[in-house]
Structure 1
Amino acid sequence: MKKMIRYGIPLLAGFLFLFSGHAQTDETREVISSGVGSIIGGDVAHARDNAIEDALRRGIEQVLGTLVESETLVENFQLIEDNIMTRTRGYVQRYEVVNESRRSAELYEVAVRAVLKISDIQDDLEGIATLMRRKNTPRLMVMIEEKNIGETPGFHYVETEMNTAETALMNYFMAKGFRFIDRATVQRYLDQQKASAILQGDAALASALGKQVGAEMVLTGRAIAKATETEAFGARIRSQQATVQVRAIRTDTGDIIATSSGQGAHPHIDDVQGGVLAIQKACDKLAGPLMTQILNHWQADVSGGGTIVLNVQNVADYMQLNRFNNSLRYYVRGLQSVTQRSFSDGFAVLEVVMRGSADDLAQRLSGRDMEGIRIRVTGMTQNSVTVQLVPEN
């Protein structure tokens, strides 16, 4: 558990005592399992991470084996295995390493004690921390166009402090352990023209700005509040209502991976204050579903195979690029597909779907010789890897 706290998210530390009671209840099961990871290029730390993942999957198989008859397990093993690969994080509530050793020059072995729970991962703060650790704790940036009652949307966005919707979303996500780019950092790279375009829905510009400030995801959208009056029992009642719409954009690909909207209302004698409270209520309603979609997307990336952008430099010609693409399928373990997005002036952009992270891909490519081509890794982000092709003499 100490490792979980050290490598996890500090904001969750206060919640960890909730999980220090009995390890096994009607809703949980404690298992001890072992796994192995291959040591590539002398990287023991990377092999250890892979061994932990292998051990967790084996622990889940143990539990499934007690829930179904052995004949059913054998007959439907592939279906069960596929389910494990796509939902691993949803089953793991917490774990700790109880033993580890280097089995040989090429293998590292780890034994874990894990508490398994079949439930939605977003309901468990510690589970979220584990998932985010496996995603290298992505950082978010938020930009919401807000029009409260009597205000002009986005007109002075660059000069203003965070608005109500941005603050409400940040508070909700940060309480779950998410990290955000500081507003002052964002404003250093922002002018009014860029701000207006992003707030009007330019996903490409939003993702470009996010990459520039070091964010892996951008939350952007609109928040609008208005005042209404209704009559009840001979009296006029004034109320403020708000609608908030938010999108989550991956900065490496520009893909929109989640959308959510919410409405809120609050009666108040002051329109501005009532609008603020209505916007907060709308954000509270949409934040949960938005987070669920984001976590599901990340979980699919981690367990079932996610998309990694592979930037390839120094490509001699199309024939060499085609040879490199075909070699990837042979040399990169866990790779599911390779899609070529562009190729021009010696530079190609590929989308690789594989089980593992960008770091895994970089590890498997670095220094590799592929059909007479040496691969040199020159850059990496959370969801992308940049390599150069170096012809062998």
Structure 2
Amino acid sequence: MKKSMKLSYVLIPLRGILYPLLFMFLISACFLPENKVGWAGLPTGSPSPTNKNDEAKTVTVDGVGTVIGKDRARARDEALRDAYRMALEKAGVNISAYTEMVDLVVIKDVVNANVEGYVKSWQIDDEGVRDDGLYYVTITAKVVKAAIKKDDKEALKLIINIMGNPRFIVLVDEANIGEDPPFSMLEATLTEALTGYGYHSIDPEQKKLIEETEDARMAKRGDTSAALKLAMRMQADVIIVGKVYTEKLPKHEYFEGTNWVSSKAYSTVRAIIAETGEILDVKSPQKPGAGLTYRDAGTKAIKQCGQDMADDLIWNIPLHIGASEEKTIQLLVSNLTYSDYSKLTGELRNMRKVTYVFPRGWEKDEPAVYDIKTTGNAEDIAKRLEALGLEITRFSMNKIEVRKVEKGWWSW
């Protein structure tokens, strides 16, 4: 009798320890990547055969970019994108279907696995301004002739870097077991994951300026116009908005006799590209969490939601931001003579990344109107117009208004 009593005393605390651990293991197993790791950490499925195309080929190439005014940083970014493309071509990756200037479209298709090759890593050997005024970079790159792998973090970080490290802002309405937390775990998780890959977060002090505004509240509730207004104000390339809340889960049998409890997080989040207003398809996961309090369990559940979303966003953003195909921008120019009107048409057609210019008409004392097709963006065009001696009076993603300024017009 005494032996059985002693045994029961041992089993009760063991159950109190082992059951919660088993439950936590089962929950964590839900978050393992599919088809990668099985029980006891063993790989699932048969190993894939080694492919010779997965071996990196080393090439050395030059890339060039146009220096507008004194903006060498922009020219350098352009040269790096050009070098990426040239490295793919020299390594024998077929990208001949694309026109000469569409560097970001090539990068987009690398991420989307439409191009069977990617730059795994590179080093910059030399850079500077050539005698002809173009900025150049010389790189030695390792190119893999295969579709990019999602676990190749360094290759994706390189792509994000040459895209200019897109800026993002996260605004989330968060409630944990009915209370507002001192800080948003979802915002913190997304920010940590995205910055880890090279995306740039809006400065927290800047973010404080808009967090309590009506636009911020409307954006969190799903108002796309309000979200875009905030993104433009903060000069963010991507704005991530939405809400997340947690609820208590019933006491699980594994937790009987212990202080452990569980909660579940429910999230609804959207990511919007500032330049185009496009809404990205982002997961809105529901995740459980366990802890010694319902709020602690809720915090862990929210973090799991954030990690799931981040995995989606890290790969989705390069497919959409700054990598759009040819777009049309309307240009209105005031104070032009007819001679200036014809001259500007020629200048526009010679601009890098401009594929087509349609002069709509000229009338005295009225703005001259041009439709410009470009693989760049409105900011690129605006910078080049300023270099010609034109003053920007109004600017948006698809429309630029400028006026002729006598001073500097001689540069034509």
How is 1:280-299 mapped onto 2 (pairs within 5 angstroms)?
280-298=303-321
Which amino acid is 2:132 matched to? A
Does residue 97 (structure 1) correspond to residue 117 (structure 2)? The answer is no
RMSD: 4.8
Determine the C-alpha separation between the residues in 1 that align with 2:356 and 2:392.
20
Match of 2:186 in 1: 165
Deviation (angstroms), 1:271: 1.8
Deviation track 1:229-250 (CA, whole Å, cap 9, x = no partner) reads: 2665996995311122221123
The C-alpha deviation readout for 1:70-91, integer Å capped at 9, x for no partner, is xxx7xx9437989987334741
Letter in 2 for 1:297: H
CA distance in 2, matches of 1:252, 1:44: 23
Q: Per-residue CA shift, 1:175-231, capped at 9, x if unaligned? A: 223222244432323445334312211121122123223333211011121122266
TM-score, normalising length: structure 2: 0.63
One-letter amino acid of the counterpart of residue 147, structure 1: A
Cross-structure match for 1:147: 175
Q: 1:315 to 1:333 in 2, by over 3 A?
A: same
Residue 291 of structure 1: SS of its match in structure 2? helix
Give the AA of the match of 2:385. L
Partner of residue 196, structure 1:
217
- Structure 1 residue 261, shift from structure 2 partner: 1.5
- Letter in structure 2 aligned against 1:366: E
Q: 1:63 to 1:136 in 2, by over 3 A?
A: closer
Is 1:28 the counterpart of 2:56? The answer is yes
Shift of 1:298: 3.0
Change (3 A) 1:209 1:44: closer
1:366 correspondence with 2:386: yes
Deviates more, 1:193-202 or 1:180-189: 180-189
Question: CA offset at residue 354 of structure 1?
Answer: 2.9
More strand as a share of residues: 1
2:272 to 242, 245, 249: 249
Contact kept? 1:240, 1:275, Cα under 8 Å: yes
Q: Deviation digits for residues 332-362 of structure 1, max 9, x if unmatched?
A: 34235789xxxxxx89999966334555423
Change over 3 Å in CA distance of 1:336–1:148 after alignment to 2: farther
Partner in structure 1 of residue 402 of structure 2: 388
CA distance in 2, matches of 1:43, 1:192: 34
Structure 2: which amino acid aligns with 1:365? L
1:297–1:122: structure 2 CA closer, same or farther, 3 Å change rule?
farther
| CA displacement, residues 245-272 of structure 1 (integer Å, 9 cap, x when unaligned) | 2211233443324432222112345222
Match of 1:354 in 2: 374
In the alignment, is the contact (CA less than 8 A) between 1:375 and 1:387 conserved in 2?
Answer: no
* Partner deviation per Cα, 1:31-58 (whole Å, 9 max, x = no partner): 1123455667787776665554444323
Q: SS of the residue aligned with 1:261? A: coil
**Which of 335, 360, 364 does residue 354 from structure 2 map onto?**
335
2:90 aligned residue:
62
1:92 counterpart letter in structure 2: V
In the alignment, is residue 136 of structure 1 matched against residue 164 of structure 2?
yes
Measure, in 2, the Cα distance between the counterparts of 1:148 and 1:267.
13
Distance change >3 Å, CA 180–CA 367, structure 1 → 2: closer
Q: Does 1:273 align with 2:296?
A: yes
2:257 is the alignment partner of 1:221:
no
SS in 2 for 1:64: coil
> Based on CA coordinates, which of the two structures has the bigger radius of gyration?
2
SS of equivalent residue, structure 1 residue 162: coil
- Partner of 2:195, secondary structure, is helix
How high is the TM-score relative to the length of structure 1?
0.66
Q: Is the 8 A contact 2:263 2:288 kept in 1?
A: yes
1:118-170 Cα distance to aligned partner (Å, 9 max, x none): 44376444444443443433322111112222337xxxxxxx74312112211
Report the alpha carbon displacement of residue 295 of structure 1 after superposing the two structures with TM: 2.0
Shift in alpha-carbon separation, 1:292–1:55, aligned structure 2, 3 A: closer
What residue number does 2:105 align with? 86
Q: 1:209 to 1:34 in 2, by over 3 A?
A: closer
Contact conserved, 2:202 with 2:234, CA < 8 A, in 1? yes
Q: Name the amino acid aligned to 1:242.
A: A
Identical columns (%): 24
Residue range with higher mean Cα deviation, 179-188 or 214-223? 179-188
* Contact residue 129 and residue 177 of structure 1 kept, 8 A: yes
